[in-house]
């Protein structure tokens, strides 16, 4: 009896594809004429990484225990995708293939479909627990779709690695209501049986999953469903927008496409900018005009979360999209940085001290496809020259006096597969800059004290508060290294340049103080004074002052102007701040200068240490007089007594 499916062997590629491969791998021009742009871009990235073409790529599956942990982490996604996996299963079985669900990094979580093909696909490691990211497996529909952030089909010899030419795959990424990648669906089969509609079927399934992600996820929010064709309302093709206090906070891709918007519209657009008229009442359906034409619009308000005796968990939206929130322009720059970092382009972050460069870098890591890998950070300005070299490159046993007996891997190797963050790279010594450039060019590291060179694959993010272009002109920073790391530069704005600082102050205060009737409040005058201050230390200085105010506030108290540091009160009266380092004797004065490490550490410490430092400084300035110290701190003397008594004074 003949086999139910064709043998798993590569189909001879068309002549033009053979020619394109030969031209590309020989360096001859003209390869792009026979290849789709996503394929040629992917091949280029793979070649730059030094991935092998003919041999098998490294594919180390997770252990069963590790896979179980990963599946549990994405259990909610797996449940939501189950109906689509089963629906695609019918098509996959007919064509002799399998349906695959991956996590946001391209690691295979589940496969459903032809058992016969699944067994043979395992020969090229297409099975649960194996990463099919582009960095691990070369050009393939899973990894390349995650980088391109759109549906991709890779047929036979379009795969970078020759052993994968037995496959034809179609994949599309799954986005949550905030635009973040949460997973991917793939339909793979033997290249001998081309599936003409595979990509369309996968994209349709992904649309159903993304539509389902809105169910019950936004309690108490206004959900607008709309489409130019009323017959599409209630289907996965309808546009879905979520508003909180008339501001757009979540969306699906059909909605953004219908309105001609991108993900950067979240948090930046209001209902009145997108639709004529008011939101209306829940249940209402009406015609409305948009900048792109008329649509049928229906409003619903999801039921609020049930009230419980225990603390209520954070809303679903916050649970899906944790972390800091940036203004619309910075959020847009972050989205670009993530896409470019994913594509292997280094990112340079410039900005004043305290403007949030490391926070921005950590968000690139947390929201990108390497989120489950290492984020290795080193401050180049905080380590002596010799230690920077050993920290980055590692060393062998006995490489120098004081070296660990077993040696040290170094951050380059620690970051392998993840993100390496070099903070204050402008302070890196010139001699070390040349070694760093060599690592970036060759993608391999040789530890101090000899040893074998080790291949590394990491995404590079650098940051500096110094003008690197000027350092290049002055000769203290290598021009070739600058052009290597600054292929995409993000300049973070200083706090004083932000438009709605008062709303920012209020948001930070609410996040620090938490919910509840006993949470202290900021008076309007206090909030306005905080917003008007120029904050030379930027976010680091502002959050430090807010921590102090919160620590010294009584439950339910409204914090007034009298509680503010002297320089902030002075700026409110004069309309300007004192120069840095001239803030007077007030215990809450701003750090003397951005590089004053001790002051900065005090402002960024935990609430207890910040409170103790402020009180001790005020008491010292007032020669131990509690009444005068309390007035200086802007609190009641009983509050100061209570804190001192708790410390045993």
Write the pLDDT tens digit of every residue in 20-78: 888 888 888 877 777 889 999 999 999 988 888 886 666 678 888 888 888 888 888 99
More confident residue, 343 or 295: 295
At 92 the pLDDT is 67
73-87, 405-419, 480-494, 592-606: lowest mean pLDDT where? 592-606
pLDDT-derived band at 514, boundaries 50, 70, 90: confident
Region 150-174 average pLDDT: 91
At 142 the pLDDT is 95
Backbone angles phi, psi at 448, to 5 degrees: -65, 145
Q: Which two tokens stand for residue 122?
A: 């395992």
pLDDT-derived band at 570, boundaries 50, 70, 90: low
Region 78-103 average pLDDT: 82
Based on its alpha-carbon atoms, the radius of gyration of the chain, rounded to whole angstroms, reads 29
pLDDT-derived band at 325, boundaries 50, 70, 90: low
Residue pLDDT, tens place only, 251-308: 999 999 999 999 989 988 999 999 988 887 887 788 999 998 999 999 988 766 444 3
At 3 the pLDDT is 33
Region 302-323 average pLDDT: 42
At 41 the pLDDT is 92
The answer to whether residue 315 scores a pLDDT higher than 60 is: no
Region 122-148 average pLDDT: 86
d(C-alpha 121, C-alpha 366), whole Å: 31
At 397 the pLDDT is 56
At 282 the pLDDT is 82
The answer to whether residue 175 scores a pLDDT higher than 90 is: yes
Specify the DSSP class assigned to residue 575: S
DSSP three-state, residue 155: strand
Tell which residue, 369, 358, 377, 363, has the closest CA to residue 331: 363
At 635 the pLDDT is 63
The fraction of the chain above a pLDDT of 70, given in percent, is 77
Residues 190 and 93: beta-carbon distance below 8 Å: no
At 637 the pLDDT is 59
Tell which residue, 283, 232, 287, 286, has the closest CA to residue 257: 232
Specify the DSSP class assigned to residue 154: E
Region 458-475 average pLDDT: 92
More confident residue, 255 or 19: 255
For the chain, counts of helices (H) and of strands (E): 26, 19
At 182 the pLDDT is 93
Region 406-421 average pLDDT: 79
More confident residue, 85 or 638: 85
Residue pLDDT, tens place only, 425-435: 998 888 788 88
Mean pLDDT of the chain: 79
| Pairing mode of beta strands 98-102, 181-190 | antiparallel
């Amino acid at each position: 009896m003949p086999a139910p499916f064709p043998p798993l062997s590569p189909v001879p590629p068309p002549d033009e594809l053979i020619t394109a491969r030969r031209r590309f791998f020989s360096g001859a021009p003209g390869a792009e004429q026979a290849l789709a742009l996503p394929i040629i871009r992917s091949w280029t990235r793979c070649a730059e990484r030094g991935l092998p073409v003919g041999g098998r790529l490294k594919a180390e599956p997770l252990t069963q225990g590790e896979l179980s942990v990963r599946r549990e982490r994405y259990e909610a996604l797996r449940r939501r995708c189950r109906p689509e996996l089963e629906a695609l299963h019918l098509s996959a079985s007919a064509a002799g293939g399998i349906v695959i669900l991956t996590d946001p990094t391209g690691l295979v979580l589940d496969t459903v479909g032809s058992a016969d093909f699944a067994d043979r696909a395992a020969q090229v490691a297409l099975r649960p627990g194996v990463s099919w990211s582009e960095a691990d497996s070369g050009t393939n529909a899973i990894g390349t779709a995650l980088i391109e952030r759109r549906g991709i089909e890779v047929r036979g010899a379009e795969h970078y690695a020759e052993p994968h030419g037995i496959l034809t795959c179609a994949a599309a990424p799954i986005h949550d209501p905030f635009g973040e990648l949460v997973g991917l669906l793939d339909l793979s089969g033997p290249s001998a049986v081309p599936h003409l509609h595979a990509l369309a079927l996968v994209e349709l399934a992904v649309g159903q999953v993304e539509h389902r992600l809105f169910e019950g996820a936004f309690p108490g929010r206004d959900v607008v469903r709309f489409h130019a064709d009323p017959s599409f309302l209630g289907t996965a093709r309808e546009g879905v927008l979520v508003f909180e206090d008339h501001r757009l906070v979540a969306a699906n891709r059909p909605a953004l496409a219908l309105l001609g918007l991108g993900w950067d519209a979240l948090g930046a657009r209001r209902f009145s900018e997108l639709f004529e008229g008011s939101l209306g009442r829940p249940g209402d359906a009406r015609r409305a005009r948009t900048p792109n034409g008329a649509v049928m619009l229906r409003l619903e308000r999801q039921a609020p979360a049930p009230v419980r005796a225990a603390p209520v968990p954070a809303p679903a939206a916050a649970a899906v999209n944790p972390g800091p929130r940036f203004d619309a322009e910075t959020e847009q720059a972050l989205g670009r940085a993530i896409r470019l970092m994913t594509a292997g382009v280094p990112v340079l972050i410039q900005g004043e001290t305290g403007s949030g460069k490391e926070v921005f870098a950590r968000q690139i890591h947390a929201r990108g496809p390497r989120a489950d890998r290492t984020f290795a950070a080193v401050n180049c300005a905080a380590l002596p020259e010799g230690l920077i070299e050993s920290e980055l490159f590692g060393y062998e046993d006995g490489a120098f006096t004081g070296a660990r007996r077993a040696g040290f891997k170094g951050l380059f190797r620690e970051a392998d597969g993840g993100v390496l963050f070099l903070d204050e790279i402008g302070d890196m010594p010139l001699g070390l800059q040349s070694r760093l450039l060599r690592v970036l060019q060759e993608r391999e590291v040789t530890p101090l004290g000899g040893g074998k060179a080790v291949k590394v694959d990491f995404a590079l993010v650098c940051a500096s508060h110094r003008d690197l272009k000027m350092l290049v002109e002055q000769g203290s920073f290598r021009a070739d290294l600058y052009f290597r790391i600054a292929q995409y530069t993000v300049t973070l704005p200083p706090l004083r340049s932000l438009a709605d600082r008062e709303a920012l102050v209020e948001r930070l205060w609410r996040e620090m103080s938490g919910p509840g009737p006993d949470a202290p409040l900021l008076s309007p005058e206090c909030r306005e004074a905080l917003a008007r201050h120029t904050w030379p230390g930027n976010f680091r200085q502002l959050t430090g002052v807010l921590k102090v105010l919160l620590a010294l506030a009584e439950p339910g108290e409204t914090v007034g102007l009298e509680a503010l540091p002297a320089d902030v009160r002075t700026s409110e009266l004069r309309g300007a701040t004192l120069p840095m380092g001239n803030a007077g004797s007030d215990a809450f004065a701003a750090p003397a200068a951005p590089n004053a490490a001790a002051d900065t550490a005090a402002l960024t410490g935990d609430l207890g240490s910040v409170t103790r430092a402020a009180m001790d400084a005020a008491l010292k300035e007032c020669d131990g007089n509690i009444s005068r110290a309390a007035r200086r701190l802007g609190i009641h003397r009983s509050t100061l007594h209570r804190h001192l008594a708790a410390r045993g004074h």
